[in-house]
Amino acid sequence: MSATPVMHSSTPAVSAAPAVPQAPRRRRALAPLEPVGARARWLLGVGFFVLFVAVWGFFTLGGFVSPTFLASPVTMVKEAVLLFTEYNFSHDIGMTVWRVFGGFVLATVVSVPLGIAMGTWKSVEAFFEPFVSFCRYLPASAFIPLLILWAGIGETQKLLVIFIGSVFQITLMVAVTVGSARRDLVEAAYTLGANSRGIVLRVLIPGAAPGIAETLRLVLGWAWTYVIVAELIGSSSGIGHMITDSQALLNTGQIIFGIIVIGIIGLISDFAFKALNRRLFAWSTL
Amino acid sequence: MNQLSIRGVSRTFTGTRGQTTQALLPIDFEVRENDFVTILGPSGCGKSTLLRIVAGLDYPTEGRVLLDGQTVEGPGADRGVVFQSYTLFPWLTIAQNIRFGLRERGMSEADQKERSDFFIAKVGLRGFENHFPKQLSGGMQQRTAIARALANDPKMLLLDEPFGALDNQTRVLMQELLLGIWESARKTVLFVTHDIDEAIFMANRVAVFSARPGRIKTEIPVDFGHPRHYTIKTSPEFMDIKARLTEEIRAESMAAAEH
């Protein structure tokens, strides 16, 4: 490291006029926990992407790696254009997005009420918790062969993979969020005349809502990884299916583009979710 | 007339390995309607436990609590509680917090608004109706908590060191505010504190708690008239009571420290 930050490096400017004492300039960009400006943060974040593509381009365009194994950025862009113009890739993207959201919504409809019930009533928790905890560790992808036997290779099977991958995670995390409600708020509500119904509907649920929304955002991110696995096997559309096809044709450009598209969609849905949560639960970030 | 009767109430806590801790020795205590009683004691003496039992948030191991002749079975809207910790619902605005109990009771929107507006004005929070609790200072949050408890029109107001987390200046102003409210709209108040000045300034009667296991060691009447001005805090009579209570509390604190 050549540019070590030196705190007292700037020599004070000597001026004739009795200068107003200036606040000492602080140059502590690399000090631990020191905040970084918005502009610098943006530049640094973009910087890594640029560096990444540069290194990738250097090795592929420079001929250090065989194009059979890794396409160059330029090839990838050409393939991307082809995908959209010739192979109707928009349809694949649409299918994948619909599967993720379909399975995710199904899982949410089941697991959020169940999680709230488990967090609220300890007997319900005692009944479901061991089983749900066990199921959480079952890999969703391992169910694919079984699901194909049960549900065929249609849409039901794809939705079920997402469902199985999400439902147990959401249930447990919601149960923990609701169960860790502030006891003093519950007591305050009782002294204000609330009954059990009032406690659940007007204390536990609103108090846990931001945590539940955050859980859903997290699990939606995981759902994106399940859908591709589901589409790799027994599928005729979707981004995962395109990737499998491209593998057979040794078209690494298309594979990489497919992966990047998943990343971008995931990022967009995550940002949208985050923005929605901030809007709905403004009080929790005050 | 005695509104609150605490009859032979004791409390023993049982630990996870079966060991028991006696928090309260059997206590008999009466509070008249519209009286203002402070319970003064060293920390950990069980005074908050007694208040929680009256509130119905904890239960006595032996004995019972009667409110207007009815045994207390659990928490209810007839006993408003203000806690030391900030217990406003963070997802509700100040006005919505104050209306919480009214809403639970099914009061009409118009009546809710009328009552909450009245109490918002009373605790001096006009203009903050639509703020969230986190946007307010600690003192303002406790003022809201008092308004929230009073809006429900409870028979009794129970306060558990409500100003304990506030800085000294704010605390003094809050004492005057609460006393002013009590003077204009009488209510039976049970107020737990470890602050001697606060105990004397607010109360018609100070009940001194012993160190754990807690019991009421002595009761001292405070005969200043109402309305009370803060200047009574420097009067010789106030100083006399303070000296007496200081001795009482000091003995108990030392007993507590030895254990």
The Cα B200–Cα B29 span in angstroms is 19
- Kindly indicate the confidence band of residue A26, based on its pLDDT and cuts at 50, 70 and 90: low
pLDDT at residue A9 greater than cutoff 70: no
Per-residue pLDDT tens digits for B212-236: 888 999 999 999 998 899 999 999 9
What mean pLDDT is predicted for residues A231-249? 88
Q: What is the per-residue pLDDT for A5? A: 46
Report the gap between the CA of A46 and the closest CA in chain B (Å). 35
Q: What number is the average pLDDT over the span B9-36? A: 92
Residue B84 lies in a domain: no
Asked if residue B183 is part of any domain, the answer here is: yes
Cβ–Cβ < 8 Å for B133, B90: yes
Domain assignment of residue B31, yes or no? yes
Residue B55 — pLDDT band, cuts 50, 70, 90? very high
Contact B75 A283 (CB under 8 A): no
How far apart are the C-alpha atoms of B235 and B230, rounded to whole Å? 10
**Per-residue pLDDT, A233:** 80
Same structural domain for residues B250 and B201? yes
- Residues of A with a Cβ under 8 Å from any B Cβ are 184-185, 187-195, 198, 202-203, 206-207, 209, 281-284, 286
**Strands (DSSP E) found in A24-86:** none
CA angle B208, B209, B212 (to 5 degrees): 165
Are residues A86 and A43 located together in one domain of the fold? no
Confidence band of A18 (pLDDT split at 50, 70, 90) = low
Predicted structure pTM score: 0.85
| Lowest-confidence segment of A230-234, A267-271, B23-27, B231-235 by average pLDDT | A230-234
Q: Which of A1-5, A117-121, A200-204 has the lowest mean pLDDT?
A: A1-5
Q: Are A174 and A129 in contact (CB under 8 A)?
A: no
Asked whether residue B98 falls in the same domain as residue B114, the answer is: yes
Same domain? For A259 and A128 the reply is yes
- Asked whether residue B142 falls in the same domain as residue B18, the answer is no
Looking at the structure, tell me whether residues B69 and B186 fall in a common domain: yes
In a shared domain, residues B61 and B174: yes
Candidate from A26-30, A112-116, B31-35, B87-91 with smallest mean pLDDT: A26-30
- pLDDT band of residue A216 (cuts 50, 70, 90) is very high
- Closest Cα in chain B, distance from residue A196 (Å): 11
Would you call B85 and A209 a contact, using CB atoms and an 8 Å cutoff?
no
Residues B183 and B248 in one domain: yes
Chain A positions touching B75 (Cβ under 8 A) are 187, 190-191
Orientation angle between helical segments A205-232 and A155-179, nearest 10 degrees:
150
Give the CATH number of the domain where residue B210 resides: 3.40.50.300
Kindly tell me if the per-residue pLDDT of B259 is higher than 80.
Answer: no
Mean pLDDT of the region B35-61: 93
Task: Please give the pLDDT value at position A151.
Answer: 86
Q: CB B79 to CB A191 under 8 A?
A: yes
Q: Is residue A4 predicted with pLDDT exceeding 90? A: no
Q: Is residue B119 part of a domain?
A: yes
Kindly state whether residues A46 and A121 are assigned to the same domain: no
Average pLDDT score over residue span B9-25: 90
Is B83 among the domain residues? no
- Of residues A97 and A28, more confidence is placed in A97
Number of domains composing chain B = 2
**In terms of domains, do B228 and B161 share one?**
yes
Last residue of a domain, one of B111, B130, B153: B153
Same domain, B73 and B185: yes
Please indicate, yes or no, whether residues A150 and A186 belong to a single structural domain of this protein: yes
Burial of A194 (0-12, 13-18, 19+ CB in 10 A): buried
CB atoms under 10 Å from CB of A156, counted, come to 14
On whether both B141 and B179 belong to a single domain, the answer is no
Q: Hey, of B100, B116, B134, which one would you mutate to test binding to chain A, going by the most A CBs within 10 A of its CB?
A: B100
Alpha helix (H) residue ranges in B35-167? 47-55, 94-98, 100-104, 109-122, 138-151
Same structural domain, A216 and A251: yes
State the nearest Cα–Cα gap between B254 and chain A, in angstroms.
Answer: 31
State whether A55 and A167 are in the same domain.
no
Judge whether residue A36 has pLDDT over 90: no
At A226, the pLDDT band (50, 70, 90 cuts) reads: confident
Does B45 score more than 90 pLDDT?
A: no
pLDDT of B10 > 70? The answer is yes
The verdict on A125 and A183 lying in the same domain is yes
Q: Is residue B133 part of a domain?
A: yes
- State how many domains chain A has: 2
Q: Max Cα separation, chain B?
A: 57
The answer to whether position A11 is within a domain reads no
pLDDT score recorded for residue A272 = 93
Residue A107 has pLDDT above 60, yes or no: yes
Structural domain includes residue A18: no
pLDDT at B218: 92
More confident residue, B5 or A27: B5
Per-residue model confidence (pLDDT) at position B188: 95
Q: Do B87 and A284 touch (CB under 8 A)?
A: no
Model pLDDT for residues B133-179, shown as the tens digit of each residue: 999 999 999 999 999 999 999 999 999 999 998 999 999 999 999 99
Residue in chain A nearest B88 by alpha carbon: A185
Same domain, A104 and A191: yes
Query: Has residue B72 been placed in a domain?
Result: yes
Query: Which of A185, A187, A191 has the most B C-beta neighbours within 10 Å, making it the best mutation to test the interface with B?
Result: A191
How far B104 CA sits from the closest chain A CA (Å)? Answer: 6
Residue A115 · residue A209 · CB < 8 Å:
no
Same domain, B166 and B240: yes
Domain membership of residue B53 as a residue range: 2-78+156-258
The pLDDT confidence band at residue A11, using thresholds 50, 70 and 90, is very low
Tell whether A135 is covered by a domain: yes
pLDDT score recorded for residue A27: 63
Looking at the predicted structure, is the pLDDT value of residue B192 above 80? yes
> Smallest Cβ distance to A193: which of B76, B85, B92?
B76
B147 and B163 assigned to the same domain? no
Which chain A positions have a beta carbon within 8 Å of B134's beta carbon?
283, 286
Q: Is there a single domain that holds both residue B106 and residue B225?
A: no
Pairing type for strands B20-32 and B36-40 reads unpaired
Give the pLDDT band of residue A3 (cuts 50, 70, 90).
very low
pLDDT given for residue B42 in this prediction: 86
The nearest alpha carbon in chain A to B81 belongs to A191
Q: Does residue B196 surpass a pLDDT of 90?
A: yes
Name the residue range of residue A54's domain: 39-65
% residues pLDDT > 90 (chain A): 64
Nearest residue, CB atoms, A193 vs list B90, B91, B152: B152
B9's enclosing H/E stretch is strand B2-14
Q: Look at residue A24 in the predicted model and tell me its pLDDT.
A: 63
User: How near does any CA of chain A get to the CA of B23, in Å?
Assistant: 21
Residues A55 and A151 placed together within one structural domain of the fold: no
Same-domain check for residues A46 and A185: no
Domain match, A120 and A216 both: yes
- Compare all CA atoms of chain A with the CA of B99 and give the residue at the minimum distance: A192
Last residue of a domain, one of B125, B153, B181: B153
pLDDT at position A17 is 57
Summarize pLDDT for A175-207 with one digit per residue, the tens.
Answer: 999 999 999 999 999 999 999 999 999 999 999
Over 50: is that where the pLDDT of A228 sits?
A: yes
Whichever domain contains A124, its CATH number is 1.10.3720.10
Q: Do B149 and A187 touch (CB under 8 A)?
A: no
Q: To the nearest whole angstrom, how far is the Cα of B76 from the nearest Cα of chain A?
A: 5
Domain final residue pick, B127, B153, B179? B153
Six token digits for residue B115? 């009552």
Same domain flag for A178 and A60: no
What CA–CA distance (Å, rounded) separates B206 from B200?
A: 7
Question: Average pLDDT in the B88-93 region?
Answer: 96
